């Protein structure tokens, strides 16, 4: 892919993500509709949908041959990653958006023939833009982020985990999770997968492990973390699939290896 194309997509994506953030800030001052999806904890607002529609309108007006895979399903039914695919979460952390009016992000990953080329995560209320282009490093508000510490070990790590650790889990039993919580330096749960990736890239947490994320939760974050020397795979070590749900481990390579080994070992209880 010609660099000029990547530069152009990056410029457009940045312009649109900042505009969308501004509009969200405006819209959230007025009452808005909140609906539930799968269950009472799975929220979507009319602002999520409006934001996704905004991206779709912008992208298709300039790039009618691109594809859009968005959480709220207003884009294409994407059956392959051939060509240019924009993978978009219009609001990542809708629960935080509704209940806290902060700690949510817009996430855009641009994949070209299956390869992640551009990742943008915009923390709207903090007005912080994380951006990465494959091979060119990751940036926070225009400042290059240093590589994450390659020597940081699991027992010294702050690990982002979700509520799966508190309830019986099909893929990882509670004992195992309790063992993990005791093993690491501390755990954090931010309620926005995209921000957890951004925080790893920034070096303020060291790992993230979760048992169910969709492509729009991870598409941008994976690129951001790779560009500072980190790695993201499924919990069995296999490659993420941007067409379906994934388990996720994200960290530096040393912690990643420790987490893979730890998960494969039988629990000690």
Q: Which residue is nearest to ligand IPD (CB)?
A: 193
Least separation in angstroms between CB 71 and ligand IPD: 6
User: Which segment (28-36, 89-97, 130-138, 245-253) binds ligand IPD by CB under 6 A?
Assistant: 89-97
Gap between the Cα atoms of 82 and 37, Å rounded: 30
89 a known binding residue? yes
> Binding of Ca ion at residue 52 (CB under 5 A)?
no
> Binding of ligand IPD at residue 94 (CB under 6 A)?
yes
Strands 67-70 and 84-92 turn out to be parallel
Find, among 254, 184, 243, 187, the residue nearest to 218 by Cα.
Answer: 243
User: Which segment (17-25, 68-76, 183-191, 234-242) binds Ca ion by CB under 5 A?
Assistant: 68-76
What are the respective helix, strand and coil percentages of the chain, to the nearest 5? 35, 25, 35
Q: How many CB atoms lie within 10 A of CB 8?
A: 13
C-alpha torsion angle, residues 250, 18, 4, 67 (rounded to 10): 70
> Binding of ligand IPD at residue 75 (CB under 6 A)?
no
Q: Where are the beta strands (DSSP E) in 12-55?
A: 34-36, 43-45
Binding mask 211-250 for ligand IPD (x = CB under 6 A): -xx---x---------------------------------
Out of Ca ion, ligand IPD, none, what residue 52 binds, judged by CB under 5 to 8 A for its kind, is none
199, 191 contact by CB (below 8 A): no
Lookup result for tokens 């494959």: 134
| Total count of residues recorded for the chain | 269
Name 29's Cβ contacts closer than 8 Å, sequence gap at least 6. Answer: none
> Binding of ligand IPD at residue 162 (CB under 6 A)?
yes
Choose which of 9, 74, 78, 89 interacts with ligand IPD (CB under 6 A): 89
Least separation in angstroms between CB 257 and ligand IPD: 24
Least separation in angstroms between CB 194 and ligand IPD: 6
Binding site for ligand IPD (CB under 6 A): 71, 89, 92-95, 162, 191-193, 212-213, 217
Binding site for Ca ion (CB under 5 A): 71, 89, 91-92, 217
């Amino acid at each position: 892919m010609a660099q000029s194309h990547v530069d152009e997509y990056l410029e457009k994506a940045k312009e649109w993500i900042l505009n969308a953030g501004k509009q969200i800030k405006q819209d959230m001052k007025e009452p808005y509709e909140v609906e539930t999806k799968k269950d009472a904890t799975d929220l979507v607002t009319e602002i999520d949908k409006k934001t996704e529609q905004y991206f779709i309108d912008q992208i298709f007006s300039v790039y009618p041959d691109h594809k859009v895979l968005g959480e709220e399903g207003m884009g294409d039914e994407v059956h392959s990653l051939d060509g240019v695919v924009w993978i978009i979460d219009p609001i990542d952390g809708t629960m935080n958006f509704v209940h806290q009016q902060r700690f949510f992000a817009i996430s855009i990953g641009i994949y070209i023939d299956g390869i992640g080329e551009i990742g943008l995560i915009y923390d709207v209320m903090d007005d912080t833009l994380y951006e990465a282009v494959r091979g060119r490093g990751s940036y926070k508000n225009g400042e290059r982020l240093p590589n994450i510490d390659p020597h940081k070990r699991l027992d010294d790590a702050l690990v982002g985990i979700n509520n799966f650790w508190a309830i019986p889990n099909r893929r990882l039993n509670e004992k195992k999770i309790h063992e993990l919580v005791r093993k690491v330096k501390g755990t954090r749960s931010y309620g926005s997968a995209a921000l957890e990736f951004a925080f790893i890239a920034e070096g303020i947490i060291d790992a993230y492990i979760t048992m169910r994320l969709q492509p729009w939760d991870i598409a941008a974050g994976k690129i951001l973390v790779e560009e500072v020397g980190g790695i993201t795979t499924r919990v069995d070590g296999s490659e993420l699939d941007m067409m379906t749900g994934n388990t996720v481990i994200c960290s530096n390579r040393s912690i990643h290896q420790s987490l893979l080994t730890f998960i494969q070992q039988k629990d000690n209880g």
